[in-house]
Amino acid sequence: MQRWFLPLTVLTTVMFILAPIFIVQAPYESTMGLVQKIFYFHVPSALLLVLSPFVCGIASIRFLASRTPAADRVALAAAELTVLFGAITLATGPLWARKAWGVWWVWDAKLTMALLTWMIFVAYLMLRKYGGPGSERLAAGLGILGMANVPFVYKAADVWRTLHPQTSVVPTLPPVLAWVFWFAFAGFVMLYVLLLTSRVRVEAQRAEVDRLYLELEDSYS
């Protein structure tokens, strides 16, 4: 394990312990009140739903271009994390919408595109699990498709009419709300790096196990 792993784990844990305290202390937003506090976990996980497909997509391009197994491991780990943070986004969003909009879900561009991206990465993982030998190349193509879908998710609220708030909300946050948001976001990014590193390590160890099995077979034959 890398030397930075343990200090980063400690720092991330401390941040995730402090984040709820800061979120409780942050003032209410004027029109939505208490329910707006979902924002501090919903938006960081949504931003990771936007960033993680790029990690998967770029690693997939690298894998298809050079057949580097390390790139494939990064792509797989990033796809799993896209599904994780996508699930958090898609579960916390409707809980917020129920109070703010009066409905759990609307089939508007932003929400539908986010769901579609999440489903692409679920399909990626199913392909990796059940696709058999060679599925990693097909999955890499799916990872690139997922990455190509992301700009539409991000800009949907700005381009099409939708109930979802626009991307200008975050840059224009009042400072008293903004620092709590950026604190939570930093915690989520560090958590992402830790989980990605751990997941890549699992796959690297698996590859080593496979190599040793082959070596053992060769020595007995």
Do 150 and 54 form a contact (C-beta atoms < 8 A)?
Answer: yes
Residue 79 burial class via C-beta count within 10 angstroms: exposed 0-12, middle 13-18, buried 19 and up: buried
User: Considering beta carbons, is residue 20 or 151 the nearer one to another protein?
Assistant: 20
Do 101 and 164 form a contact (C-beta atoms < 8 A)?
Answer: no
CB of 73 to another protein, least distance (A): 13
User: Considering beta carbons, is residue 24 or 161 the nearer one to another protein?
Assistant: 24
Q: Identify which of 177, 178, 158 has the alpha carbon closest to the alpha carbon of residue 168.
A: 158
User: Considering beta carbons, is residue 92 or 135 the nearer one to another protein?
Assistant: 92
User: Considering beta carbons, is residue 46 or 144 the nearer one to another protein?
Assistant: 46
User: Considering beta carbons, is residue 168 or 205 the nearer one to another protein?
Assistant: 205
The torsion angles phi and psi of 29, rounded to 5 degrees, stand at -75, 145
CB of 92 to another protein, least distance (A): 4
Q: Residue 50: how many CB atoms within 10 A of its CB? A: 18
CB of 61 to another protein, least distance (A): 25
Distance CA 88, CA 129 (A): 22
CB of 131 to another protein, least distance (A): 19
The residues binding another protein (CB under 8 A) are 20, 33-35, 37-38, 41-42, 45, 80, 84, 87-88, 91-92, 95-96, 98-99, 191, 195, 198-199, 201-202, 205-206, 208-209, 212-213, 215-216, 219-220
